[in-house]
A and B are shown apart, each in its own frame.
Chain A
Amino acid sequence: MNGQNEENLKELFERLISTEEAESGIEDFVKAERILQQYPAPEPDEELITAIKSDIVEAIRHRREHSFRRLAYRMAPVAAVLMILAAVSVRLFEKDGGGPAIITYASIIPASVWDSENIAADDADLAVLTAEIDELEGEVLTLELGENGGNGRSAVTELEMELVEINSDFWEG
């Protein structure tokens, strides 16, 4: 028993039992302790200690294997979920990009124009073109009548060619 314990004991005896019994109490402790020291228990065999150390090595190895297996069991469902997700993603990707291409055609002339009763009103570009044609027709008429006083025939030819060009441009888009 060390000094610190003795001090604690005295204090404990005084606090928990009685001051008068503290001295004799400590004496009982010290003397009984001395008796226990006089009769030491046998030491464990060295063979036993060697066997225990060997068992510890085995237990550590087993524990490591068990930990690895437990980790593998834990990770397996996660890996399975990831693999399923990956497979589903690949299939979805293939569906989006890998399938046969569907070619769609877009008309440069809106469908509404074909159905329209008044084309000029339904299509702004066409309205502009129509206005230009009207204007040119007016000019052609003027030239044919010789109202502008110039070389009417050649001017008309030029205008007609211009009209043909505009017409061609229109249909080419």
Chain B
Amino acid sequence: MTKSDDLAPIIDGCKAGSAEFFSQLVDIYKSRVYGYFYRLTGDGELSDELLSELFVKLVGKIASYKGGSFESWLFKIATNIFHDYLRGKQRRKKLYEARKNQLESEITEPKRSESGRIDKLQIQLWKLNDDTRELIMLRYYSQLSLKEISKIRREPIGTTLSKLHRGLKRLRELME
């Protein structure tokens, strides 16, 4: 996790409207946020779109960051973007379902998709319910504490812990 002291000058630079500092921010978080989107959608092209949307959106939103955990703030936006994508348009929702069904049918025989490889983990992740998958990915890619995650999800920390534990245990069983 990037230390908030290291991030402070970068965020200040972004707030001042410096493209150079935004570029640094992109370099720091591109892999984690892309991984988060990729594991949630299983689609490289869609992940490209969501990643692009997130960072361009940051230009307008960075002024509203008032301190605290930047990762928490960033992944909250990433989560919102993913949710907006899911419920945004009926057409997209249908595509999502179609994609999900397609992936489920590929479970027995993993193969390369058009947009990239589908690994064993991705296939097993689709066997988890949407909420559990999202929780596991948020925990892994944001590297936030359970307290911060429960805050983002607006649920008691005990609920988050319990759901995450069940999900990870299930994933472990599926992967072994």
Binding site for B on A (CB under 8 A): 5, 8-9, 12-13, 16-17, 25, 28-29, 31-33, 35-36, 38-45, 48-49, 51-53, 55-57, 59-60, 63-64
Contact B172 A28 (CB under 8 A): yes
Contact B157 A56 (CB under 8 A): no
Q: How far is the CB of B60 from chain A (nearest CB, A)?
A: 7
Q: How far is the CB of B107 from chain A (nearest CB, A)?
A: 15
8 Å CB contact of A53 from B26, B31, B161: B26
**Which A residues touch B175, using CB under 8 A?**
35
- What are 10 A-B pairs with beta-carbon distances under 8 A? A12-B146, A16-B158, A17-B161, A32-B136, A32-B169, A33-B168, A43-B31, A55-B52, A56-B55, A56-B58
In the bound complex, what is the Cα–Cα distance between A5 and B140 (angstroms)? 12
In the bound complex, what is the Cα–Cα distance between A56 and B27 (angstroms)? 13
In the bound complex, what is the Cα–Cα distance between A55 and B55 (angstroms)? 9
8 Å CB contact of B35 from A29, A41, A51: A41
Q: How far is the CB of B169 from chain A (nearest CB, A)?
A: 5
- Other than the given A28-B169, A33-B168, A60-B22, 17 more pairs (CB < 8 A) read A17-B161, A28-B165, A32-B168, A32-B171, A32-B172, A35-B121, A36-B136, A36-B140, A41-B38, A41-B39, A42-B117, A43-B31, A49-B26, A55-B55, A56-B58, A56-B59, A59-B56
Interface size on B, residues (CB 8 A): 43
Contact A56 B51 (CB under 8 A): no
Q: How far is the CB of B44 from chain A (nearest CB, A)?
A: 7
Contact B168 A44 (CB under 8 A): no
- Known pairs A51-B52, A53-B26, A56-B55; A16 contacts B19 (CB<8 A): no
Contact B48 A44 (CB under 8 A): yes
Binding site for A on B (CB under 8 A): 17, 19, 22-23, 26-27, 30-31, 34-35, 38-39, 44, 47-48, 51-52, 55-56, 58-60, 116-117, 119-122, 136, 140, 145-146, 157-158, 161-162, 164-165, 168-169, 171-172, 175
**Which A residues touch B30, using CB under 8 A?**
43-44, 49, 52
- Known pairs A16-B157, A53-B23; A42 contacts B116 (CB<8 A): yes
In the bound complex, what is the Cα–Cα distance between A33 and B169 (angstroms)? 10
Main secondary structure of the interface of A (DSSP, over half): helix
**Which B residues touch A42, using CB under 8 A?**
34, 38, 44, 116-117
With both beta carbons as reference points, the residue of chain B lying nearest to A34 in the complex is identified as B172
Contact B171 A9 (CB under 8 A): no
- Known pairs A17-B162, A40-B35, A56-B19; A9 contacts B56 (CB<8 A): no
Contact A64 B17 (CB under 8 A): yes
**Which B residues touch A44, using CB under 8 A?**
30-31, 34, 47-48, 51
5 nearest A-B residue pairs (beta carbon): A41-B35, A39-B121, A32-B168, A16-B158, A59-B59
In the bound complex, what is the Cα–Cα distance between A16 and B56 (angstroms)? 39
In the bound complex, what is the Cα–Cα distance between A63 and B119 (angstroms)? 40
With both beta carbons as reference points, the residue of chain B lying nearest to A67 in the complex is identified as B17
With both beta carbons as reference points, the residue of chain A lying nearest to B36 in the complex is identified as A41
With both beta carbons as reference points, the residue of chain B lying nearest to A66 in the complex is identified as B60
- Known pairs A17-B161, A52-B55; A29 contacts B26 (CB<8 A): no
